[in-house]
Structure 1
Amino acid sequence: MATELVEVKVLGVTIDPTNNQTVVILKEIDSDRVLPIWVGPFEAGAIAMAIEGIKPPRPIAYDLMSDILQIFDLNVVKVIIESLKDGVFYAQIVISQNDREEYLDCRPSDSIAIAVRLLAPIYVKRDLFESSSVSFIKKEINDEEEETKKFKDFIKNLKPSDFKWH
C-alpha cells in the first residue's frame, strides 16, 4: 500500500516572535490546516524571494542548483516532507530523468527552496501532517494590515504542545 500524501503550498515565511526564528508555513491545498517548519534565516530568505518572484543580481545556491537541474534535463518530480525526529523534519526531493527516478535525502528548507523555483509540488506524509499540523482559520479581511496582524498573532500563540512530537 502506497503512503498517502497531503499536497501543500507555501503560505508564507515569517518570524516566530517567541524566539526570533524563521518559520515556513505550509498550508494544505484543500483545508485550513498548516504545518509550520522552523528553518534558518538564509533558507527562509531564499524561499521568500522565490515566492515573491524576486531575482537577486547574482544567483544564490538554490538558483544555481535549479539552473543545473534544468540544463541537464533533470525534473524535480516532487518534494516529500516525510518525518519528524527529535524536533527535526526530514524530507526527500524526487528527481527524474527519462525513466529513472531517484529519491534524495534533503533538508525540508532546501527542498522547498528548489521546489518553489521550479514549480514542483510539495507533499507531506499524511500521518505526519495530521500529527504535526494545526488549524489556521482565515476570515475575509479587507484590511491587509489586520490580516498580517492576525497571522503574526497566530504564529506568536503557537506552542510546542500544539504539536505531537515523535
Structure 2
Amino acid sequence: MTEPRPEDVPEAGDVPMSVLGVRVELPEQHHVILLVDPPGRIMVPLWVGAPEAAAAALALEGVSAPRPLTHELLLSTVAALGAEVVRVRLTEVRNDVVHGELELSTGARVDARASDAVVLALRADAPVLASPAVLAEAGMSARSGEEDGQERTVEDFRDFLDSVRPEDFA
C-alpha cells in the first residue's frame, strides 16, 4: 500500500464543500457564491463583487473565454512552473472576511481570496475544503427548520440556478 503524500492529506477536521452556485441578492444586487457541505446541512456564503461572481458562474458552466482570463492565466502559470492546484482551503474568518489558500502539488501554500480560490478550484477540478473555524463562524443552516424537513433555501436557490445565465452577470 502506498503512503499518502503530505499534500494529499487534508487538514484534520476540514470539511469538503461543493459549490452550489452563484446568486444575486435583489434588490441590492449583492453577489454571493454559495458553498454547501455534502449532506446539505451547512452553507457558507462568500460575498463577492460582480466580476468574481461572473468568473464563478462561467467556471460552473464550463465556459472558457477565447483568451485566458485571470484564473485561467494563473492556472497556466502554475502548470508552466511544474505544479498544479491540488486543493483549496477556506482557512479562517478575519473581520467578517473568509480567507483561503491554494495548496499546490509541490507542497507550497499560497494565500488567496476565498472567491479566487474557489474559482481556481472549479477551473482546476480541485476539491474545496473548509476548516471547522470557517464553518463555525461563516456557516449557516441550509435547512429551513420546518418540521417536514424541506430544504426551501436550497430548493429556491436550485430553481434560481435553473434560470440564471452567465450574461446575467455582465
Do both share a fold (TM > 0.5)? Answer: yes
Look up the match of 1:90.
Answer: 99
**Distance in 2 (alpha carbons) for counterparts of 1:58 and 1:111:** 20
Name which of 13, 25, 33 aligns with 1:4.
13
- 1:149 offset after TM fit, Å? 5.5
Residue 135 of structure 2 is aligned to residue 129 of structure 1: yes
**Unaligned runs of at least 5 residues, structure 2:** 1-10, 145-149, 163-170
Partner of 2:122: 116
2:49 aligned with 1:43: no
Tell me how many residue pairs correspond in the alignment. Answer: 145
Q: Is the 8 A contact 2:33 2:53 kept in 1?
A: yes
After TM superposition, where is structure 1 displaced by more than 6 Å over at least 4 residues in a row? none
Structure 2 residue matching 1:127: 3-state secondary structure: helix
Structure 1 residues 56 and 79, CA, compared in 2 at 3 Å: closer, same or farther?
A: same
CA distance in 2, matches of 1:136, 1:120: 23
1:148 aligns with 2:159: yes
Range 122-131 or range 33-42, more displaced: 122-131
| Residue in 2 that maps onto 1:164 | none
Normalised by the size of structure 1, how large is the TM-score? 0.76
Percentage of matched positions with identical amino acids: 26
Cα RMSD (Å): 2.7
User: 15, 19, 40: which is aligned to 2:28?
Assistant: 19
**Offset of 1:147 from its aligned partner?**
4.9
- 2:22 partner SS: strand
1:67 to 58, 76, 97: 76
1:112 maps to amino acid: V
**What is the aligned partner in structure 1 of residue 147 from structure 2?**
none
Alpha carbons of structure 1 residues 107 and 145: separation in structure 2 relative to 1, 3 Å: closer
Q: Residue 103 of structure 1 is aligned with which of 80, 102, 109?
A: 109
- Structure 1 residue 61, shift from structure 2 partner: 0.8
Describe the superposition over 1:25-73 as per-residue Cα deviations: whole angstroms up to 9, x where unpaired. 0010233211101011111111110110111122111111112223333
* Alpha-carbon contact 2:44-2:135 (below 8 Å) kept: yes
Q: Say if 1:59 and 1:35 are closer, same or farther in 2 by CA, change over 3 A.
A: same
CA distance in 1, matches of 2:80, 2:157: 43
Per-residue deviation at 1:106? 0.6
Which residue of structure 2 lines up, in the alignment, with residue 155 of structure 1? none
Higher strand share: 1
